Structure 1
């Protein structure tokens, strides 16, 4: 009886290992090489920033938007019928297949707006996600994309032009209001992005959210996804929810219920009349600089993503 129990336990453990093996194998089922312990101690942004291609794995997002990685990403084509990827030297036009599909579909809707032939796509993710060498703390799991506020009128920009051209700012008064660059088309493009069921939230400067709240006369449910945040006046930031059935992908907490317009107005009020700064406690310890994330700080699947072909 004991032998039978041991045999059953062994079989069960083998089944569990086989079920979990997808995260630790190449897409063809071959096992990944052992990870050098030194790799786990390496600075994550250097390790992930050095990878020029995606991992040969099933598409997956591991971890959270600001602490994770992406397996099996696909590359958004540098140029499409209604989009162009910008700053190609950064090699950040990669993402989960759901993100790439969403961006393409949004570009078609943007091309229907007056003065827009599509969209200019800024940073998405690195080929294997992870922390970036410069810039963002998020964009790590292949589910974030920045869309320029500059209407994409010319979709034949050269590689060199895409390095030198800049987007436009749509804010004034430090983000309390929109400026003359803001148009109803911006409203409609952002609305189309928010109405995609895969979208979890969209970050934009507070004045834009308040303006959209004033201008929207129809269904307002989509406004809940528009979240005021610092910056985000040269581009708006789309964040997708974890793909359906994803394992190991950590969702951000859902926005509070309601359209969020009162919250955006509070942001604007604080810009126009900043609350008094809290005095610093002289006995409080000095803030320590944030430590760079190491590979070992990320979900364990991320070492396998780095090691994959």
Structure 2
């Protein structure tokens, strides 16, 4: 028996509905998958950014508690306390880990690259972020060696033999105005005007004391360069395998994180090719953290004889090379 035209049309409509429902279900499933992937990527991004910010806070604590962390040295398994005049002032940050073992040892304990205003590759040092300092019982969370890169203005490191300052091996004085800006043992072109601010940049914004960089998964860039992190070598030697290149919309290479200059970029739609996640410590954040420490101890600090060699007092290259002129800034603490 032949089916009627009405029955044929009904069958066709049913088949069409089934197809439409199948396509709709596939679209919904695809959208669900896309949303799941996006949520996962978002969760990973937030986790990494939280970790970067935790490291940032640990670095600020390291800077704030310099006098306490370095009030003694471990000599032949015996703790030897330093004279007051040899204690570092607050504000100094660690040197970088070059060999990727997680520690700052031997030659790594001094790092310097005095700033030449005509050379964008000067005024900072970079390498792997150290995981901690065993002899100081200070650790940057549960980090793995080579997990992060670390860039720091070389005036702010606590070991820099290019600044002798009575053999302290530190840039001094280090204070909220960075004044005077250069110690007497620095020669041109590295004599900076008083108040010269840090010049590390992040996404085009200047004034960073330090940057912490999480290198995302290795990439093959649009110019064909492929990152390979299986090779040996120092953090400087292998920087291109960890930090990213940057391109314009036409594929032309721009300043990137692996170029060795003072300009750095974090992952964004505008920074094509950059998967690195970057968090920085601005000079104003550094000022606030260190001034809070000084102000919280004001009653005790102001009782220190102003003529003694001590980080709170005036800097003098031979008599008080650890001085930071901090006494001059107590007016900022308020009533």
Q: Same fold (TM over 0.5)?
A: no
TM-score where L is the length of structure 2: 0.28
Larger radius of gyration: 2
TM-score normalised according to structure 1 size: 0.29
